[in-house]
Chain A
Amino acid sequence: MKCSDFLQELTNYLDGVLDENTKIELENHLSWCHNCYVVCDTTKKTIQIYRDSLPYELPDDLRTRLRSAIMTKCQQQKKRGPQSV
């Protein structure tokens, strides 16, 4: 496996959907190619950091306010009868 092949398969590898043979080839490549190992490892960290951080949480008070606004508008819409919004 060449570095370019590794890159092609990286997303499938990180998502755990590679077939067994390709996975073995890829891991064999990673065992001796330091650059690809680093790219793989830091890409995995990138995903993990974003996943763990969830920087845009909806505060409870805003959440309640939004939900009540949504439900009020839904009921108004229902009263007006079916129509495209």
Chain B
Amino acid sequence: MSAIENKLVGPVSEELALVQAAKRGDDSAFEELVRRYDRNVFRIAQHITQNREDAEDVVQEAFLKAYGNLAQFQEQSKFYTWLVRIAVNEALMKLRRRRPERTVSLDEEIKTEDDSLPREIADWSPNPEQQYNQSELREILSKTIQGLPPGFRTVFVLRDVEGLSTEETAAALELSVPAVKSRLLRARLQLRERLGRYFQKRESGDGNQ
């Protein structure tokens, strides 16, 4: 049904059982939660902070905060969504500390509605990622996503890279669903346009144009 499938992050009931055990003081259950989500938290943190050391710190601080506040966790929501909210806040704090000259918040950069309308329409080559080797491609993707404002980048990473649903992303970022959708659209369109510089069909040698 969906054009792009979401990645699932473990069955919810199992997660809840681990959370309840951890709340009762079972540290091995908490360790299992760490094992389950550390890679996700690291990716999210690195995408937001764009810095590996910061991302490592965020992983530690987010889990430590979750551990310390486990009693406050309301079990109506998913533990993972709650953890992501903590991690995103930690990551944004790191970013603020690193770039004090710029305000970093999820509410910044509300510009005109037209700022991400497609200007460049040219089509891409059929398998654009194959034009580059693995490390070139990583460099391109990382440079491109760094150019997005943190608020857009975070929504894109949670929704499209980590596969959270729109509702989960909204809950994790404490944004409304329409705000998530609007940021996601603009993030996707901006990334598309920026990637186009690398992936566009070459005019010469391509008989289609």
Contact with A along B148-166 (1 / 0, CB 8 A): 0000000010001101001
Interface residues on A, range: 35 or more
Bound-state Cα–Cα, A74 to B63, Å:
9
- In the complex the two chains form, is B67's CB within 8 Å of A14's CB? no
| Tally of A-B Cβ pairs under 8 angstroms | 138
- In the complex the two chains form, is A54's CB within 8 Å of B161's CB? yes
Q: Which of B31-39, B94-102, B103-111 participates in binding chain A? A: B31-39
- In the complex the two chains form, is B191's CB within 8 Å of A51's CB? no
Inter-chain pairs besides A53-B129, A57-B43, A70-B64, 13 sampled, C-beta below 8 Å: A11-B188, A12-B181, A13-B3, A15-B3, A45-B128, A49-B141, A51-B161, A62-B56, A70-B59, A77-B64, A77-B68, A82-B68, A85-B68
Contact with B along A1-38 (1 / 0, CB 8 A): 00000010011111111000000000000000001001
Known: A39-B121, A45-B124, A49-B195. A58 touches B68 (CB 8 A): no
Contact with A along B117-151 (1 / 0, CB 8 A): 11001111000110000000110011001000000
- In the complex the two chains form, is B55's CB within 8 Å of A14's CB? no
Which residues in A have their C-beta under 8 angstroms from that of B121?
35, 38-39
Bound-state Cα–Cα, A48 to B188, Å:
11
Known: A50-B160, A50-B191, A58-B39. A42 touches B124 (CB 8 A): yes
The answer to whether the Cβ of B60 comes within 8 Å of any Cβ in the partner chain is yes
- In the complex the two chains form, is B67's CB within 8 Å of A15's CB? no
Q: Which of B4, B69, B117, B122 has the most CB of A within 10 A?
A: B4
Q: Chain A contact residues: over half helix, strand or loop, or mixed?
A: helix
Interface residues on B, range: 35 or more
Which residues 35-50 of B have a CB within 8 angstroms of A? 35, 38-39, 42-43, 46-47
The answer to whether the Cβ of B202 comes within 8 Å of any Cβ in the partner chain is no
- In the complex the two chains form, is A46's CB within 8 Å of B188's CB? yes
| 10 closest A-B pairs by CB | A16-B2, A85-B68, A56-B46, A46-B192, A58-B42, A11-B185, A74-B67, A55-B138, A56-B43, A35-B121
Bound-state Cα–Cα, A38 to B189, Å:
12
Contact with B along A44-77 (1 / 0, CB 8 A): 1111111111111110001100110111011101
- In the complex the two chains form, is A67's CB within 8 Å of B31's CB? yes
Q: Which of A44, A56, A66 has the most CB of B within 10 A?
A: A56
Which residues in A have their C-beta under 8 angstroms from that of B138?
53, 55
User: Shortest distance in angstroms between B185's beta carbon and chain A's nearest beta carbon?
Assistant: 4
- In the complex the two chains form, is A16's CB within 8 Å of B142's CB? no
